[in-house]
Amino acid sequence: MKFVSNLLTAGCILVTACGSISLRADEPKPARDAAASTATRSTVAPNAAGIYWQAFSAMPTLNDEQKKPFEAAISSTTSTLTPELGPIVSRFNVSLHELHRARSVGPCDWQLDFDAGPQLLLPHLQKARELARVALLRARLRFAAGETDAAIIDVLDVYKMARDCGCQPILIAFLVDVAIEKMTNDVLAAHLPLLKPEQLDSLAAELQKLPPTSSVASCIQSEERMFGDWLDRRIHAEAAKLNDPQAGGKLLRILGADTGLESELQPKPDDAEGKRKADLLLSLTVAEVRASLKQMRADYAELGAIATLPVAEQAPRLKKLEDALSEARKLTKREDAVRYFSTTLLPTVSNVLLREDQFLTRRGLMEQAIRVQRQGATALQPVRSQRVEHKKTANGFELRCPAGNSEEVLIVGRTP
% of the chain residues with pLDDT over 90: 74
Q: Are 81 and 187 in contact (CB under 8 A)?
A: no
pTM of the model: 0.84
| Mean pLDDT in residue range 134-154 | 96
Question: Residue 294: what are its φ and ψ, rounded to 5°?
Answer: -60, -40
Bridge partners for 406 per DSSP: 403
Tens of pLDDT along 282-335? 999 999 999 999 999 999 999 999 999 988 899 999 999 999 999 999 999 999
Confidence of residue 102 (pLDDT cuts 50, 70, 90): very high
Show the CA angle centred on residue 82, arms to residues 77 and 86, nearest 5°.
Answer: 90
pLDDT of residue 16: 31
How far does Cα 407 stand from its chain's mean position? 23
Tens of pLDDT along 19-45? 333 333 334 444 445 444 444 555 667
> For residue 125, is pLDDT > 80?
yes
Tens of pLDDT along 216-263? 999 999 999 999 999 999 999 999 999 999 999 999 999 988 887 777
Bridge partners for 400 per DSSP: 389, 409
Nearest to 174 by CA among 212, 235, 215: 215
Q: Are 255 and 234 in contact (CB under 8 A)?
A: yes
Is the C-alpha dihedral spanning 319, 321, 326, 330 positive or negative?
positive
- Residue 403 host element (H or E): strand 397-403
